Structure 1
Amino acid sequence: MLRGKLAARRSAEPSRPASARSRRARQPFLARIVNQWWTRLLNAIYQGSLSDQEEEYESHSATRDYVWNTIGTTVWGMSLPILSIVASQLAGAEQAGMFSMAFATGMLLMYAANYGVRNFQVSDIDETHAFSSYQIQRWSSTAMALVLGILYCTIRDYQPYMATICFGVYLFKLVDGAADVYEGRLQQADKLYLAGISQTIRSVAVFLVFTVLLFVMRDIAVASVGMGIAAVASLVLVTIPLALLETEKSRHWRFEEVIDLFRQCFPLFAALFLFNLIETMPKLVMEGALPYDNQLYFNALYFPSQSIQIIIGFIYKPQLVRLSNIWANPRKRRRFDLIILAVMAVIVAVTAGVGVFMATIGIPLTGFLYGVDFEQFRFLCYLMVVAGGVIAAIDFLYAIVTVLRRQGEVMRLYLVAFAAVTLSSLVLVNLIGLAGAVVSYLASMTLLLALLVWEYIRIRQAIRRERNPFLS
């Protein structure tokens, strides 16, 4: 009898896990993913370390890298135009212009936080600097960027409403800057697709929170603060744990390495920050000379330009590690040059394609999305498309110069372009308004591209002479 009872009990016990499995199977896919991630995260925290856990996701997945990097970069790159569209439709052109202005300066703070380290980090294939040193450097530069943002709002003497908008937007963009070092670590470990997933989750979370709060409250300031909080949550719950769980544990950070990163990447930071300051200067001049709705118009015209940069970015950025390896082999230098020419040809083709799109359905579509007649800005839109191709070429050449470790040699070029855009913006914006901002923007970027091409040719000639002194 006892044996019969024990057998009956054992036969009844497996039914519970089976029932649990069936309940899990009935869960929506997204809910299962969230539950699995939350369980993994809590277990790692309970065990006292994220870095000591076993990795679960594969590396060396080129298809996933391209797909998720494309998705992440596209969603991130479209955050400004999409959020501007939402702001314009729900709060009007004036408030949307204020949001766009805060976003423009927030982007500058993000690049200050990045400090130009990402390309340097992912091309550090021998890991001469510990990841922990990269983290200390990034959090230090992010803190400096935060102080810079507070000083800017103080100098501009923003009223509480505009200052609150800036606070929310700056928090979002500073999180972008901090998250970049963790997503760079994933790329360095050949898991770029995980970096794309992280970027996508952050961008989607920010969009949803901003849109819902703005729809309910009709207050840009409240929506901006909510957006910043959503970004912080995604960083703490997804980006940092993902990087620590899915990459090798870093050796301990060293003060000398942190200082060396600040030193070596200063030319990268200065050039990148100056480049984005060049991009932003027309908007900064417009803020003092034109109503805020012009900020919205400028950003709407800028979107086709930005789409070119996004497309080119997800073509070449996943290949930076491979380009570094090609450059490291002197016998493959000719192949390296051919890749550069091929990407430049792709930039021309993409620019032409975007131009055709805008000339046909793009401009009417822009007007529909923003609720503004953009036919009056058709010629300015064409100029912006050309500027987009120019900027994509600049961005690519900047990355190549970083791979060559000659980043210190381009600083003076950015200073020349910065002086040109500042002078032209001050003159043209005050003379012809929005059109002056677009013209000065295109002219300064064209000048910078010409200077970068000349500098790249000079660097390559210098490298050839170093390898073969008889050429000199």
Structure 2
Amino acid sequence: MRFDKPIQEGVMRSAYLWNTVSGLLMAFQSVIVVIVISHVCDATAAGVFTLAYAHANLFLTIGKWGERAYQASDTTGEYSFAEYGVSRIATSLLMLALGAALLALNAASVGYSPDKTAVIFLMLLFKLVDCVEDVYHGEYQREGRLDVAGKVLTARLLTTVALYVAAIIILRDQLPALALATAYTTLFAVCECIWARLRHKLPQPGQGFLPGKVGRLLLACFALALVTSLQYYLTNAPKYAIDARLDDLHQAYYGYLAMPTFVVSMLSSFIYNPNLTPLGLSWARHDVRAFSSTIRRIIALIVAITIACDVAAAILGIPILSALYAADLSPYVVELVVLVTGGGFLAVAMLLTSVMAIMRRQNSLIVGNVIAAALAALLCPVATELFGITGAAWSYLATMVLLVISFLVPYSHELSRARESSAEESQLPKPLARD
């Protein structure tokens, strides 16, 4: 089955709208929950939530296996939905196994309390729903209905966050509140998939799966899984360093300051996520000019968003965050701007990851990620121990800058090769028209 039909303009507009709304909810759900925990419980509980959320999202990248961009841009139908689905079952089980194993190791070595361990494990289950749901939304996007994915994701996130917050306020304990929210969001995800099938015939019936092709798909996306996992490790390396070197209170303070960095990434994703399938079509048609022009525009918009967020962070960030979290963050103005700037570099890195997947050159990103991860593993613990939150912030920015530079090199190389190939094709003699 091919998925190369042009997307209707009205559907594209709706996709942009609902992708933006759901992205905002995704970006702010943890912010909202941390605010409530900080006021209803305390800063230490907020620090536990921050670590749990980082841990779960790290292993979510393994669960997703980097397949979303690959699936959305698979306009030739190289792999069926069944093959994407079976591969996601395998990677979801891997996500749970590795996440639980690292949790057990950290709990034993660092000395987590039973409540802290339970919160981190439950958060892993909570994010598992995102992992399974994503393969359905990737198929909706491939079939030109990202708007449907955006609508159901908006509904799930909105109602889940509302329930989660209400449970924290009523129960005054994040552990049972998280258990309730996890059960609810799981049920909602099941119902939304049934609704999309009945209402929109999504996903369309297709061929079954071949075990050999599932294996090839997992192998094809292995580089993406490794790259996205390392990227998420890079974003959270300071948190792991704080967990090992400082305490939950410092973890909470760093989490408060780091929250806006994900806003930059999410705002940027609103721009490039709806463009994945159109970019895939441009690349498949060898329209290098349109392909590169779209990417340049997206990068320019990310730069503009980052600068605007930097200015807002410098002027309004600390007063707003201090009020929201009931904490004195006034000593950390520079650190906040540094972290937000790092979020802009992360957004560019995420864009280039998707772009290289569309170009089917994702393997070329591995070296840059490994180098940046090695730098983070060496720099973050030392900088955090010596300079506290300040050291954590600057080490984050340094690794993000290195990551983007390491991605731009293979991207520029592949783009140059594509231009040369396109120029050679244009110079070939065209066949004479027959009378």
- Would you call these one fold, judging by a TM-score over 0.5? yes
Unaligned 5+ segments in structure 2 are 1-7, 426-435
Please list the CA deviations of residues 413-459 of structure 1 after superposition, one character each: whole Å capped at 9, or x if unmatched. 10000000111012101111111111111000101111111221122
Q: Indicate the residue corresponding to 2:5 in structure 1.
A: none
1:74 paired with 2:24, answer: yes
Q: Indicate the residue corresponding to 2:432 in structure 1.
A: none
Unaligned 5+ segments in structure 1 are 1-57
Alignment map for 1:135-174 (pairs within 5 Å):
135-157=85-107, 158-174=112-128
2: CA distance between counterparts of 1:385 and 1:164? 31
1:287 paired with 2:243, answer: yes
**CA distance 1:60–1:269, change in 2 (3 Å):** farther
1:410 is displaced (CA, Å) by: 0.9
Q: Indicate the residue corresponding to 2:377 in structure 1.
A: 422
Q: Indicate the residue corresponding to 1:202 in structure 2.
A: 156
Given the alignment, which residue of 295, 305, 311 partners 1:356?
311
Q: Indicate the residue corresponding to 2:387 in structure 1.
A: 432
Q: Which has the higher relative contact order, 1 or 2, with Cα contacts under 8 A spaced 6 or more apart?
A: 2
Supply the AA of the counterpart residue of 2:401. Answer: T
Alignment map for 1:20-419 (pairs within 5 Å):
61-157=11-107, 158-239=112-193, 241-242=195-196, 245-330=201-286, 332-419=287-374
**Structure 1 ranges of 4+ moved more than 6 A:** none
Aligned-residue RMSD, C-alpha? 1.8
> Equivalent residue of 1:128, what SS?
coil
Q: Indicate the residue corresponding to 1:37 in structure 2.
A: none
2: CA distance between counterparts of 1:172 and 1:60? 33
Please list the CA deviations of residues 153-209 of structure 1 after superposition, one character each: whole Å capped at 9, or x if unmatched. 211123321121112211111111111001111111111111112211221232122
Q: Is the 8 A contact 2:168 2:174 kept in 1?
A: yes
**CA distance 1:451–1:209, change in 2 (3 Å):** same
1:345 is displaced (CA, Å) by: 1.4
**CA distance 1:272–1:76, change in 2 (3 Å):** same
Supply the AA of the counterpart residue of 1:295. Answer: Q
2: CA distance between counterparts of 1:189 and 1:402? 18
Residue correspondences, number: 412
2: CA distance between counterparts of 1:358 and 1:314? 20
Identity %: 27
1:307 is displaced (CA, Å) by: 1.4
> Equivalent residue of 2:225, what SS?
helix
1:400 is displaced (CA, Å) by: 1.0
1: CA distance between counterparts of 2:24 and 2:162? 16
Q: Is the 8 A contact 2:103 2:121 kept in 1?
A: no
1: CA distance between counterparts of 2:20 and 2:155? 14
> Equivalent residue of 1:410, what SS?
helix
1:466 is displaced (CA, Å) by: 5.1
2: CA distance between counterparts of 1:213 and 1:335? 49
1:226 is displaced (CA, Å) by: 1.6
> Equivalent residue of 2:390, what SS?
helix
Q: Is the 8 A contact 2:58 2:232 kept in 1?
A: yes
Q: Is the 8 A contact 2:383 2:391 kept in 1?
A: yes
> Equivalent residue of 1:61, what SS?
helix
Using the TM superposition, name which of 337-346 and 416-425 deviates more: 337-346
1: CA distance between counterparts of 2:230 and 2:374? 10
1:144 is displaced (CA, Å) by: 1.0
1:363 is displaced (CA, Å) by: 2.0
1: CA distance between counterparts of 2:194 and 2:86? 13
Higher-Rg structure is 1
**CA distance 1:107–1:297, change in 2 (3 Å):** same
Using the TM superposition, name which of 356-365 and 102-111 deviates more: 356-365
Supply the AA of the counterpart residue of 1:319. Answer: N
1: CA distance between counterparts of 2:178 and 2:372? 32
Given the alignment, which residue of 399, 403, 406 partners 1:448?
403
Please list the CA deviations of residues 16-72 of structure 1 after superposition, one character each: whole Å capped at 9, or x if unmatched. xxxxxxxxxxxxxxxxxxxxxxxxxxxxxxxxxxxxxxxxxx996122111111111
| TM-score, with structure 2 as normaliser | 0.91
> Equivalent residue of 2:221, what SS?
helix
